């Protein structure tokens, strides 16, 4: 069983909340994509660099998302990233992540990243 602190960090009844198993993996993915390199002092390469959005090239952005998740979330065994510039809201990049953990397909994860 996997256990870890929830992301984002929260407190319940005076204690830090904990996530387990597949919820923890999903939170790790979101953490990687919302953290900028060098934000974590002891893990300077952890995170996703938003400078890639200056290319506005979906294939390059999707490849960088894939690389960041596979590098920093070892529980993810297979990952497919589908992304595009949001048609509904300016300044967002919508991504759909399809992934497996321990050989089991997980529910798709839909995220919007600020460009």
* CATH number of residue 91's parent domain: 3.10.450.40
Q: Percentage of the chain surpassing pLDDT 70?
A: 85
The span from the CA of 36 to the CA of 33, in Å, is 8
* Count of helix runs (H) and strand runs (E) in the chain: 2, 8
- Answer yes or no: are the C-beta atoms of 27 and 7 closer than 8 Å: yes
What's the pTM value of the predicted model, to 2 decimals? 0.80
Q: Percentage of the chain surpassing pLDDT 90?
A: 43
pLDDT at 107 > cutoff 70: yes
pLDDT at 16 > cutoff 70: no
Q: Note the pLDDT of residue 41.
A: 80
The span from the CA of 10 to the CA of 74, in Å, is 24
Strands 104-105 and 92-101: antiparallel
User: Which range of residues forms the domain containing residue 15?
Assistant: 3-114
Number of independent structural domains in the chain: 1
The span from the CA of 83 to the CA of 25, in Å, is 20
Q: Which helix (H) or strand (E) holds 22?
A: helix 21-34
49-87 pLDDT tens trace: 888 888 879 999 999 999 999 999 998 999 999 999 988
Angle at 48 between CA 10 and CA 83, to 5 degrees: 100
pLDDT at 45 > cutoff 60: yes
pLDDT at 97 > cutoff 90: yes
Q: Note the pLDDT of residue 104.
A: 87
């Amino acid at each position: 069983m996997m256990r870890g602190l929830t992301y984002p960090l929260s407190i319940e009844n005076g204690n830090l909340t904990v996530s387990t198993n597949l919820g923890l993996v999903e939170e790790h993915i979101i953490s990687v994509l919302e953290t900028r390199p060098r934000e974590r002092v002891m893990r300077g390469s952890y995170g996703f660099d938003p400078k890639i959005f200056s290319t506005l090239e979906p294939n390059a952005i999707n490849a960088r998302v894939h690389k960041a998740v596979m590098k920093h979330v070892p529980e993810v065994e297979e990952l497919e990233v589908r992304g595009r510039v949001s048609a509904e809201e300016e300044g967002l990049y919508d991504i759909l992540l399809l992934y497996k953990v321990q050989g089991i397909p997980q529910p798709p994860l839909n995220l919007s990243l600020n460009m």
